[in-house]
Structure 1
Amino acid sequence: MTLTGWSVFSFDGIGTTWEISTPEDLPERVRAGLLGVVEDFDRSYSRFRDDSLIAVLAREPGTVTLPAGAGKLEQLFKKLYHLSNGAMTPLIGSSLERLGYGADYALRPLGHPVPAPRWEDVLVWSGTSISASAPVVLDIGATGKGQLVDLLASVLRGAGTEEFLVDASGDMLHSGTEPLRVALEHPYDPTQAIGVVELRDGALCASAANRRTWGDGLHHVLDGATGRPIETVVATWTMAATAMEADALATALFMVDPPVLETEFEFSWLKVYSDGHAAYSAGFEGTLFT
């Protein structure tokens, strides 16, 4: 998303395109710092590279030490794992690979869907330490990109930049007093919008079944309890104070009824179902087109 008159720093990272918009050009040292954070994050958590920290656990049981922010991921995933009765899980990687969404991007199913391993059976995650009693394919994509958005925002603030927009291909964090009008992409036609929302000094994240699709009805939002793509929901949007929470809750809305999430989190939301109807929270300050 381009802001008129602002400078844009664009780059690729963790498999997506990023744009960081600021009123003034970012110094080279700040740009280098941002890119370093992205590389460190990818080298820690990517299931698509053999040299990542979590790749060790895919090859054999053991323990790895993750970066300092891992504790926040652990707490958020544990809460959503329990609220979703195991449907939302960082152990979904093996189920995705089974359906063809692996490191080689073959996008050819290897067999029938398989559930993710149960957290309590194979994984012990405590802060920065994570141990597996059997080989596991971790995938933190449901909230990892949001955490990385927040980490880049911290770099910007640490460099004295207080007004900015971090846009990770639609997952956004805005800092500033002037609100932005953001279009909500139509889940079946990316050239169209189903509405607009105002974003000011907070995060807006989306999850859509059409973003990564292949084969016959296959996409990347799976129910961890069954290993199957979710068919009842096609797109969600959430607004929260941090991108990490907004990102996680956008995925959780595919699996959990909103009132259940609202008992534990402060956020607003929009949810579009596969039959065409939409539901949204009272606090979702946007306009839906008819």
Structure 2
Amino acid sequence: MHAWRFDAIGTRWEIETAESLGDGDRARIQSIIGSFDETWSRFRDDSVVSALRERGGSAPLDPDAAADAQAMLDVYRELDLATHGAVNPLIGAALEALGYDAALSLQAGPALQAPGDWRTRLRADAGALVLEGAAVIDVGAVGKGRLVDLISDALEGNAGRVTVDGSGDLRVRGGTARVALEHPYDPAFAIGVVEVADAALCASGVTRRSWAGGLHHVLDGRTGLPVRTWAATWALAGDALHADAVATALFFDGGPPLADRWGVEWVRMSTDGRVERSAGFPGEVFTAGGGRRQGGEDAEE
């Protein structure tokens, strides 16, 4: 297998293929990532979402970006209902209030609730992204999963196994990858392992993007405060968009019922070391609160 590793959208990527990717494939993937970032990054002054943050309005989208907007906002509506408003695409200002801003100041001010009326304020409409009034869009609950799917789809014609790994969001096509579930408090250990076969495995954890005072990036939109009960989640689905969404939803009580409706299998670990799993999760989960030192498996958050 051949691995291409690179940095993009603030994280490390690895694409593994049976044959080395040519310049054309690499350029196409970089273009997909660049276009997605130009639309959805709240860390860029020139992005579409940044153009809307001060006063709202309507921003035109090309057909690919319009399809992304529709797909992600449809999933957000189900996340909103399942978590009773905890997961919200207008969470950006709340993240920035706690210091997770474009400058990564990590200087926290007062917590800020996300607008509870986002479903009437934010929509994809006739090839445009429309936002009523000022707000900061952040699609972190589903965006990387969507991007993993776009890259995986772009490589659909490549022979053999193709694995697209965006540092916590992973999709495998044309084969199987054995993936360790990384212990959130000790990366040298895994709490389980699973075979990912023509599917996506997405993970989320409170320790990867955290800073002083116990703050981290997984917020409850109703309070603007970090979640405290669950430390890490993993979700296995047919595509990375829905796996990523469930990985976020599992930090809240509505996550397991949503996963069941979507047919997504999952594992989650609490901050006090308890491990829960769905009845149909196809992998092995080790003793609650424990773990095994990672060896030859691919490592996943």
> Which range, TM-score by smaller chain?
over 0.9
Higher mean displacement: 66-75 or 241-250: 66-75
Summarize the Cα distance change of 1:165–1:127 in structure 2 as closer, same or farther, 3 Å threshold: farther
- C-alpha distance in structure 1 between counterparts of 2:120 and 2:168, whole Å: 35
TM-score, scaled relative to structure 2: 0.90
Q: How many residues align?
A: 282
State how 1:118-133 maps to structure 2 within 5 Å: 118=116, 119-120=118-119, 122-126=121-125, 128-133=127-132
TM-score of the aligned structures, taking structure 1 as reference length: 0.93
CA–CA separation in structure 2 for the residues paired with 1:127 and 1:230: 36
2:82 match = 83
Of residues 40-49 and 273-282 in structure 1, the stretch that sits farther from structure 2 once superposed is: 273-282
State the percentage of identical aligned residues. Answer: 45
Aligned counterpart in structure 1 of residue 57 of structure 2, from 59, 62, 69: 62
Which residue in the other structure is 2:297 paired with?
none
Aligned match of 2:96: 97
8 Å contact from structure 1 (residues 71, 127) kept in 2 = no
Q: CA deviation at 1:197?
A: 1.1
Match of 1:256 in 2: 253
Runs of 4 or more off by more than 6 Å in structure 1?
none
1:73 maps to amino acid: M
Match of 2:292 in 1: none
Structure 1 residue 25: Cα displacement: 0.8
Q: Is 1:234 the counterpart of 2:231 in the alignment?
A: yes
> Partner residue of 1:195?
192
Match of 1:163 in 2: 161
Q: How much is the aligned-residue C-alpha RMSD, in angstroms?
A: 1.5
Shift of 1:275: 1.9
Q: 1:284 to 1:35 in 2, by over 3 A?
A: same
C-alpha separation in 2, matches of 1:15 and 1:128: 27
Q: Does 1:134 align with 2:129?
A: no
1:49 alignment counterpart: 44
Does residue 1:23 correspond to 2:31, yes or no? no
CA contact (8 A) 2:82 2:254 kept: no
CA separation of 1:120 and 1:149: change in aligned 2, threshold 3 A: closer
Partner residue of 2:3? Answer: 8
Partner of 1:3: none
Matched, 1:205 2:202: yes
Contact 2:69 2:129 in 1 (8 A): no
Where does the alignment leave 5 or more consecutive residues of structure 1 unmatched? 1-5
Structure 1 SS opposite 2:188: strand
Is this contact kept in 2: 1:19–1:166, CA < 8 A? Answer: yes
Aligned 8 A contact 2:172 2:199 in 1: yes
Shift in Å at residue 285 of structure 1? Answer: 1.4
Q: 1:74 to 1:55 in 2, by over 3 A?
A: same
Indicate the larger mover: 264-273 or 42-51. Answer: 264-273
CA distance in 2, matches of 1:229, 1:253: 14
Counterpart contact for 1:74–1:127, Cα < 8 Å: no
Q: Distance in 1 between matches of 2:15 and 2:250?
A: 27
Deviation track 1:66-115 (CA, whole Å, cap 9, x = no partner) reads: 31321101110111112211110110000000000000100001x22111
Counterpart of 1:221 (choices 197, 212, 218) is 218
- Compared CA separation, residues 120 and 32, structure 1 to 2 (3 A): closer
Gaps of 5+ in 2: 288-301
Q: Which amino acid is the alignment partner of residue 38 of structure 1?
A: I
SS in 2 for 1:189: coil
Name the counterpart of 1:268: 265
In the superposition, relative to structure 1, how do residues 136 and 258 fare at CA in structure 2: closer, same or farther (>3 Å)? closer
Contact 1:69 1:128 (8 Å CA) reproduced: no
Q: For residue 288 of structure 1, report the CA deviation from its aligned partner.
A: 2.1
What CA distance in whole angstroms lies between the structure 2 residues aligned with 1:279 and 1:128? 41
Q: Amino acid of the residue matched to residue 229 of structure 2?
A: T
Please give the alpha-carbon distance, in whole angstroms, between the structure 1 residues aligned to 2:218 and 2:276.
19
Match for 1:95: what amino acid?
A: A
1:277 aligned residue: 274
* 1:47/1:103 contact within 8 Å kept: yes
Counterpart CA distance in 1 for 2:248 and 2:77 is: 14
Equivalent residues of 1:220, 1:229 under 8 A apart = yes
Amino acid at match of 1:142: A
Is 1:233–1:274's contact at 8 Å kept on the other side of the alignment? Answer: yes
Work out the CA distance in 2 between the residues paired with 1:128 and 1:198.
39
Report the CA distance between 1:61 and its aligned residue: 2.0
